[in-house]
Every structure is written in structure tokens, then in C-alpha cells.
Amino acid sequence: LSIAEVNQLPFEEFIQIFGNVVEHCSLCAAAVWRNCPFSNIQNLSSAFNEFMDNLPMIGKEGILRLHPDLAGRLAMAGALTQESTKEQASAGLGNMSTDEREKMSRLNSQYKEKFGFPFVICARQNKKEAILKGLEERLNNSMDQETLTGVDEVKKICYLRLLDIVDKNSKL
């Protein structure tokens, strides 16, 4: 889509197209729509980022809680959204050894036990080794730190999903 076409979308179509650029959180798109018209993809991406930044901590935690685990139960059951399925596959999470899978599952459980929301990282920018390393390192962070770090990763995931939809070079 060109940015001009994005700006022409009625609300319902905007939600159909952008409703999952933040995983399972169409509220973000519903809020961002009001900032139409957008001058380019960066401007659209900033609108999503600002909405997320302006949420209270409890709202940020809610965005993280809406994310599926990496290589978790849903992934094993093939029950991920299209976007998540592609992203998790691109990180090589589909072909982990038994040891890697057990380690990922154990660390994910520890992480969720400590923070109350899943470990979130942009899987398109991290292979499985970096994801396991990130999990181990970030486990030592504080709740507030991890809430903000997780949202930063959601912003990266969101931008890459926008790139799949909106022509990067189109501008008003």
C-alpha cells in the first residue's frame, strides 16, 4: 500500500489491515487511525510507538501479556497468528534441538514467573542463539526495566510488520 492509500482507508479497513501489527492488540490501530493522514511509514510507525509509550505501565504490561511465547505451546500446536508463525520460523525456532527447546521452555517459565508476562523479543532480528542469550540476560532485570525493554521489542516487531504492508518509500 502507498501511504496515500493508507490515508484513504475507512476505519474498518484500517483495522482489518493494521489490527495485528501489534500482536493481538487492535486497540493500538484503532487509536492510531485518528492520527490520519500520515506523511510516510515512519510517521505511521511513530504514531504506534507514541500510543504505546503513553500507556501507563499496566497498559504496557498488557501489551506484553498478549504476546505468544517463543516456541511455546501455541507454536507447537500451530496456533500462532500468521505474522508470529513467520517471525518465529525466521529465528530458527522451528528446528531447535531437544536441549534448546527444553532450555527455552524452562527460561520462558522462569521469566513469566518473575515478571508475569512473556519474554518478548523481535524474532526477525534475533536468531535462536541470541534469543536464548537475551532470555538469560534479561531475566536479571527489574520489572520496570523489562516492561520498557519488552515494549521496545514490540515497536521493532510492529515496524517490520508495517514494512510488510506499506511501501517504504511512498510519501505524501
List residues near ligand 2AL by CB under 6 A.
67-70, 84, 87-88, 118-124, 157
Q: How far is the CB of 129 from ligand 2AL (least distance, A)?
A: 15
Q: What is the CA radius of gyration of the chain?
A: 16
SS3 label, residue 42: helix
Cell of 106: 524452562
Catalytic residue from among 60, 67, 128, 155: 67
CB of 10 to ligand 2AL, least distance (A): 28
67 or 155: whose CB is closer to ligand 2AL?
67
Given the complex with ligand 2AL, which of 40 and 161 has the nearer CB atom? 161
Q: Which is nearer to ligand 2AL, 3 or 63 (CB)?
A: 63
> Please, what is the minimum distance in Å from the beta carbon of residue 145 to ligand 2AL?
16
Residue 67 designated active-site: yes
**What's CA 49's distance to the chain center, in Å?**
11
Show the DSSP H helices in 19-168 as ranges. 26-32, 41-53, 57-65, 73-76, 82-90, 98-115, 128-138, 143-163
In Å, how far are 16, 67, 120 from 105, measured between CA atoms?
33, 15, 14
Q: Which residues are tagged catalytic?
A: 67
